[in-house]
Amino acid sequence: MSDATPHLGLPLIAASQAQKHVTHNEALGLLDALVQLACLDKDLTAPPASPAEGDRYLVVAADPGGAWAGLGGQVVRYADGVWTGAVPRAGWFAYLVDEADLYVFDGAAWTSFRRTLTAIQSVSRLGINTGADSTNRLAVKSDAALLTWDDVTPGSGDMRIAVNRKDATRDAALVFETGYAARALLGTLGSDDFALKVSADGAAFATALTAAAKTGGIDFASTETALAAAATTELGGTGTRRVLVTGAARITSFGAVPDRERFVRFAASATLVHDAATLALPTRADIVTGADDTCIATSDAAGRWRVRHYQRADGTPLAVGAQTLAANGSVRFAGGLILQWGLVTPSDPQAAVSFNRAFPSGCVGIWTQAAANEDGALYAAQVTDLTVTGFTIRLRRAASGSVSGAKNVSIFWLALGF
């Protein structure tokens, strides 16, 4: 039978042993030293100058000096003025007071728990406050998580997360879920374009936004939402940029949702009621909509809406405001009809005149006024050589059975074309 225990090496009392108390007390001393082992240091190569009763150290030096000579690799304690050692066995734990770290003896050396945790690699699963599985090999249950730049190593100041995939046909994405059912996907989804997809049921997904990988262009996908006209027609609550307003009600408000932009199409003859404080219209007057009329409406931070642009389906303007007309000019009407006018004072009886703008297709006709020169004589203006870019004007007067020309006579002309 051994005279010591196999793990801590505590001395055993032998049968018929004299002075049993000595062996017993020695065993108690070893228990006091080794159970709940907490050592002051492990880096000394010789004993401290003034040790206290019961002080313990790890002597990791192979050849320590002084009273520690021959105790290399052991756990030493100071008792009754003497340093004694105990040979550690695999699995012993020791807390190092000066490092605030826990060490374990692996049979050959003492290893830091902190460094072991820091150097963890190739862990097959990791669950934090929850269980990881074969699909979710990293699982975290927490109200928040923080990833920040490394200011200890030190780092570069950057913080980047890489989500890598096999090829462009696969997904590299963030999945946002409700009750473990996907509601939004954000990332490169089956292509190199960056996309945002959303779903109401976790099965069917609609693409809301795409950023093209080749051009960087952003494409917003949005269906046209039908909304019945009412006194308050809530454009801001539709959730889509394009809205079809149906019905013929009087609309006094587009609601109060702030900072929205809507492209609106009308299906019938509704009436938009102008109010500078709630629904400002470009004409500052009420507008009766027509089928397929369109407008762009925006709301400000206070929820006040303004129609930025309104377009009739047939191209006619909302209203013709006051205009200052010059002696020469042109105007194009809805449907393509063009009206042009001008004032010429030819220096010769016959002169070429150019239109202010060429007619795209043709000139229907030109009208001129009879003119009088400084002596009060009336002259007729004849038009010849008419093209889409201009015409020739001839000034003539019949007197005493003959026709004569004139010059420096001011003539107004009017042309109509398309």
Indicate whether 405 pLDDT > 90: no
Token duo for residue 67 = 């009273």
Print the domain residue range for 405. Answer: 329-417
Rounded CA separation 14/247 (Å): 107
177-235 tens-digit pLDDT: 999 999 999 999 999 999 999 999 999 999 999 999 999 999 988 789 999 999 999 99
User: In the chain, how many domains are there?
Assistant: 5
| pLDDT tens-digit series, residues 104-157 | 999 999 999 888 777 777 788 999 999 999 999 999 999 999 999 998 888 899
Together in a domain, 366 and 399 = yes
Q: What is the pLDDT of residues 278-306, one digit of tens each?
A: 999 998 889 999 999 999 999 999 999 99
The verdict on residue 144 lying in a domain is: no
Long-range CB contacts (< 8 A, 24+ apart) of 98-106? 98/40, 98/41, 103/42, 103/58
Beta-strand pair 56-58/279-280: unpaired
Residue 23 domain-assigned (yes or no): yes
Whether residue 199 is contained in a domain is answered as yes
The pTM of this model reads 0.50
Give start and end residues of each alpha helix (H) in 344-401.
none
Beta pairing, strands 138-140 & 126-128:
parallel
Same domain, 233 and 306: yes
280 and 303 part of one domain: yes
- Please give the single-letter amino acid code of residue 14: A
Q: Residue 154, preceding bond cis, omega within 30 degrees?
A: yes
Pairing relation of β-strands 218-220 and 224-228? unpaired
